[in-house]
Structure 1
């Protein structure tokens, strides 16, 4: 189990943040594995001694980057859902906005996300944390869908919402790894996925 103690001193907190930022950039550039601790410390404008005091080894640093990535995106998803709930839009528009918001969250982080996904294929602890993030996104979509339950003609709306979440996550994961979904232009992906979801849910007009 990888774990780090949260620093109490402001200086140490800033040093840890720099280490995490450097590691995230190295992962994005596929150069994390071949970069030594001394070079990481130099890039983070810190020392090897500080690295070992705060982190211990590169595996702990890698896990800390992953943990931060997951937690930041969990919070961002919650904020996205809260913002959408205040707009009181129709379900199809709300689902499209949700998908667009999720894609926007990962814009610019595709390289890091791909690196973390590859690591998850080999490390059960990483994989479990990604499962938790995926579940969080899926549950958020479920809350949006079931808020409009009265407009759904699907005979089992809870089951349908859960399947929609899995379909969406599969599509988004593919989108992240490949950068596109077939010949579908990037900008229309949220709208097209929303149409598919609402059609399966048998959404009626309000």
Structure 2
């Protein structure tokens, strides 16, 4: 498998750029529907309307194409999280509501991309490049989450708010990731919707930081 630094450069010609974008779009759609082992260059070719030979010539192997798709998806997920946190009127909300909005923003993006993230998480257990890129994205999200919530640090009773937020984020990420990989009933027979889970995680965070 090629290294992340060897990802293909964007083609210069407009038609080549357009065909590459069709391949990427089709590949991302497939990853949102299928497990990695069911993801094939032939099906990407069919959906994108680009020949198999052209895809191999441009992207190399299936694994190389997957790295391009993973990088693109992680960029988008990071953008969505940043936009969601930027949209929160932190100073206008009370302390608990700001935490609730932050946790909901975090959870909503995970929920929206759950199928694709499941593929990435399972693949990351076997592929160090996927693992490292995913970790980079998660750390960016953690930093944005913490920066927003810390606008209310004056109300926080925990002696080390940064540490508390770091620990809470680790807990929340673990809960969300396990739900994505194993489903909603893996640890407990109690069924919780994504909305209910977000609300309960927010209560945990508020109690930890404020009470």
Q: What TM-score bracket applies, with the shorter chain setting the length? A: 0.7 to 0.9
Give how far 1:177 is off.
2.1
Alpha-carbon separation, structure 1, partners of 2:206 and 2:177: 20
Deviation by residue 1:137-171 (Cα, 9 ceiling, x = unmatched): 21122112221111011111121121111111112
Partner of 2:199: 191
SS, match of residue 127 in structure 1: helix
Alpha-carbon separation, structure 1, partners of 2:43 and 2:103: 39
Q: For structure 1, which segment, 76-85 or 119-128, has the greater mean C-alpha deviation from structure 2 after superposition?
A: 76-85
Alpha-carbon separation, structure 2, partners of 1:8 and 1:62: 21
Equivalent residue pairs, number: 203
For normalisation by structure 2, the TM-score amounts to: 0.85
Gaps of 5+ in 2: none
Structure 2 residue aligned with 1:97, among 88, 96, 101? 101
Q: Retained in 2: the 8 A contact 1:119–1:126?
A: yes
Partner of 1:175: 179
Gaps of 5+ in 1: none
| 2:75 matches 1:71 | yes
Q: Equivalent residues in 2 for 1:78-117 (5 A)?
A: 78-85=82-89, 88-117=92-121
Partner of 1:126: 130
Alpha-carbon separation, structure 2, partners of 1:152 and 1:86: 15
Give how far 1:109 is off.
2.9
For normalisation by structure 1, the TM-score amounts to: 0.87
